[in-house]
Amino acid sequence: MDNLQWFKFSPSHWFMGRIQRCSEVAQARFMRIVCIYWNNECQMSVDDARIELDEEFDNLVRLKIIEVDGNSISIKFLDAQYEECLAIGNKRSEAAKARWSKAKGKQKESKSMQLHTDEVQDYADKNRKEENRKEENRKEESNKNSPTESSDNVDALDDPPTDTHKDVCKNNKRPTIDLVIDYFVKNGYSKKAAVAAFEYYEAGTEPGQIYWRDSKGNEVRSWKQKMRGVWFKEENKVDKAIPIVEPGWKYVGLSEAYDIVRDQNNVSLSEQVKIGAGDDFVRKMMNMNPSYKNAGKGWKYRKTT
């Protein structure tokens, strides 16, 4: 994806952020982790992060600069940009499909007619083979010759093929992004992972192809089976510690709450952090703010439009 070759970086946020409470070595190592994390499409295990950061890892986690999610880490500002990039990629993909469909309409119609003709021919060939088999069985059982019997035997239509190419296409066609997201969410996996899976297979599949193509170019005949076998991993599960809030509301965790309180009272927060009471101070200030309501381990607030 072209727009994953770079990400947004704000010098003012860097110099005013919690990273400034870390040593220069930790800052340099964190910048390296940021680049690796983005290049890996915002996926990195805790073990890999510890190898890169060494003894600085625990300090960055304590300051909520890096968050741990199961066996993976999360860098919040990059995750938000990655979601935005995926959304843009979806829009561009849909626009490209629309242009291709308009330009190749007649060619697609011609291929569709050819496919239908091939299916009819396959059905006729199978029908003739079945007819011949039944005819041979009748001759063997009755030990009679029937040279005048018509080849248009209606018994040959008793058991028509049930696994035609048309049926396979109908039952296993490429899913839409909404179908993939719905399947992931119903099984307890994240929307982010669903979008990543959809983009992965769409990128390797030409417009107009009936099935997805995997990395080896093979057809993905059952996309749900492929999701279960490849994408339903522990790191892609939804974090149940984050509660689901009502429509029109947004959840705020402790890390984001630090930024909110810092904007309101930077000096007091800095003093509390120095004595190790930063978390308690942030919770106190958030609970005093009438705009925020308690929600699990964090807060929620009504979004404005």
Q: Can you give the residue ranges of every domain in the chain?
A: 10-74, 109-171, 177-236, 249-302
45 has which bridge partners?
A: 72
All residue ranges of the chain with pLDDT < 50 are 145-172
Q: What is the pLDDT of residue 200?
A: 92
15-61 pLDDT, tens per residue?
888 888 898 888 898 899 999 988 888 999 999 999 989 888 998 99
d(CA 1, CA 278): 40
This model's pTM is above 0.85: no
H helix runs in 104-214, sequence order: 105-142, 165-171, 177-186, 191-203
Task: Report CA-CA distances (Å) from 116 to 9, 113, 119, 165, 232.
Answer: 54, 5, 5, 10, 36
CB atoms closer than 10 angstroms to residue 66: 25
Q: What does the pLDDT read at residue 152? A: 39
Rounded distance between C-alpha atoms, residue 153 and residue 249, angstroms: 68
